[in-house]
Structure 1
Amino acid sequence: MTVGERRNFRQNSPSNTPKGGGPGSGKGTQCKRIAQQFGYTHLSVGEILRQEISSGSETGSMIQKIMKEGKLVPSDVTVRLLQQAMQGINSDKFLIDGFPRNEENVKAFEDLTKMEPEFVLYLDCPQDEMEKRLLSRNEGREDDNIETIRKRFKVFMESTLPTIEYYESKGKIRKVDAGKSVDEVFESIKVIFSQGKDNKVPPSRHKCKCLIL
């Protein structure tokens, strides 16, 4: 899970923070709690993509095919839909769940939005626990079957872990043990968020807070 403030280095725009964590690590559940507790608007990139699929658009059909294969949607498509969602909401504090998923996502997001994360909250969860959670959640999602789930784990290991390592090299990772109960995980997250509230950022460099989880 990623937590932080959106940084603006090139123009007056909000700062952001990406969030890591494999499929089933509890990102969506914790985002809802964070949004309620700390006043953020929660945007799930996965949900944004599924809404585009439901719209019946040509882009939606392309996204559906890619997601069925357990692959990642092209960065330019994801960032464009994410930007549209953010622009349609009267808020300057966002929790963005499920993005960035790879280094290409990071570059596309930072290049197009002129934002960089303050820090990244990483929900570290054992794969067997994530698999159990995904198979038991029964949300009727096409990608919640064992074959696709394992493809998603493979993509996470190959594409998303290098992104986490990239942010770790910049000192931005805040790791939380997500194998514990929902309440225990949230208690750990609250400590990190409470510390973040105390960080004073000069208005010339930041316009507003944002989280990308």
Structure 2
Amino acid sequence: MFFGFHPFAIFASLTVLASGYLMIIKPFMEWNFKTQDERQRDEKKMIHEAYRKMQISEFPFDKKTVVFVLGGPGSGKGTNSEKLVSDFGFVHLSAGDLLRAEQKREVSQYGELIAHYIREGLIVPHEITIGLLRNAMMDHPGCDRFLIDGFPRNLEQAKAFEDTVCKAKKVLYFECPEAVLLGRLLNRGKTSGRTDDNIESIKKRFATYFNDSKPVIDAYAKDGKVITVSCEGSMDDVYKNAHTQVTQLFKDLGQEPKATA
């Protein structure tokens, strides 16, 4: 016994702490342990993807029209976003796609970490996600309109993005019953090849959505910044509704709905 604790309990606690340490700290420690030559080689590979602090500070984020696209997993955010891109001149940035691409990138510091969070249906630390979104926006300096799909996934992400990048003009919320979402995801999982399109991951994603992401929608709704699009009805009906409401958004902003070249 040690201060009233059983030795096995102490060992179990240390084991849990060690596992957490390896999952979160390991990627950063591995980078520090690399030789100087290895670091320089990796930096050369990353140089075209990373922006320097001065470039970031000078980029006119505040002049961009950013619309967050939110809804439950499988609500049609990506499908409808691609159509809005064509009709309104948006650049579509999917937080999930950016994270999956970063996970697979050979020199990524965060690949293992991202894989763990996605597999468990958890929210990736916002510093990583926001960095990827910020860089992706800077990859399109000539575009003034961005649809950011699947982000923010909690209130902390929302605040961090608006504090460090820019404020969103609106949230486009695709409202869909949970039973419909489940059916869509299970059907998509037959062909998507995504590690999170299985029943166990889907349950975790639903829990994360209702516990963390839905409060983001509710918070923006209190500020009158949510455009709700019902996912009931046909795909054409859903998009027609979204198109009508986004057209009105640009009119309210004093902008032409159709982007000018």
TM-score (ref. length: structure 1): 0.85
Deviations 1:122-173 (A, max 9, x none): 1100111111111112210000001000100000000011111100110111
User: What does 1:164-175 align with in structure 2 at a 5 Å threshold?
Assistant: 164-175=217-228
User: What does 1:114-125 align with in structure 2 at a 5 Å threshold?
Assistant: 115-125=166-176
Decide whether aligned partners of structure 1 residues 191 and 67 sit closer, same or farther in structure 2, where only a CA change above 3 A counts: same
Match of 1:55 in 2: 105
Q: How many Å separate the matches in 1 of 2:62 and 2:109?
A: 34
Structure 2: gaps spanning 5 or more residues: 1-59
The one-letter code of the counterpart of 1:22 is: G
Match of 1:147 in 2: 200
Deviations 1:165-213 (A, max 9, x none): 10011011111111322111000011101112212459xxxxxx9xxxx
Q: How many Å separate the matches in 1 of 2:111 and 2:195?
A: 14
The one-letter code of the counterpart of 1:83 is: R
Is 1:20 the counterpart of 2:70 in the alignment? Answer: yes
TM-score (ref. length: structure 2): 0.70
Structure 1: gaps spanning 5 or more residues: 1-9, 203-208
Structure possessing the higher radius of gyration over alpha carbons: 2
Is 1:81 the counterpart of 2:132 in the alignment? Answer: yes
Q: CA RMSD in A?
A: 1.8
Decide whether aligned partners of structure 1 residues 70 and 200 sit closer, same or farther in structure 2, where only a CA change above 3 A counts: closer
Report SS of the residue matched to 2:123.
coil
The one-letter code of the counterpart of 1:87 is: M
The one-letter code of the counterpart of 2:97 is: E
Higher relative contact order (CA 8 A, sep 6+): 1
Is 1:32 the counterpart of 2:68 in the alignment? Answer: no
Q: Is the 2:62–2:167 Cα contact (8 Å) retained in structure 1?
A: no
Report SS of the residue matched to 1:23.
coil
Q: How many Å separate the matches in 1 of 2:177 and 2:146?
A: 27
Q: How many Å separate the matches in 2 of 1:49 and 1:123?
A: 22
The one-letter code of the counterpart of 1:140 is: G
Give the aligned length: 193
Q: How many Å separate the matches in 2 of 1:35 and 1:67?
A: 26
Match of 1:5 in 2: none
Report SS of the residue matched to 2:67.
coil
The one-letter code of the counterpart of 1:14 is: K
2:116 aligned to which of 51, 65, 68: 65
Match of 1:160 in 2: 213
The one-letter code of the counterpart of 1:86 is: M
The one-letter code of the counterpart of 2:194 is: R
The CA deviation at 1:12 is 4.6
Higher helix fraction (1 or 2): 2
Q: How many Å separate the matches in 2 of 1:178 and 1:192?
A: 14
Decide whether aligned partners of structure 1 residues 53 and 136 sit closer, same or farther in structure 2, where only a CA change above 3 A counts: same
Match of 2:147 in 1: 95
Q: Is the 1:25–1:179 Cα contact (8 Å) retained in structure 2?
A: no
User: What does 1:107-146 align with in structure 2 at a 5 Å threshold?
Assistant: 107-113=159-165, 115-137=166-188, 138-146=191-199
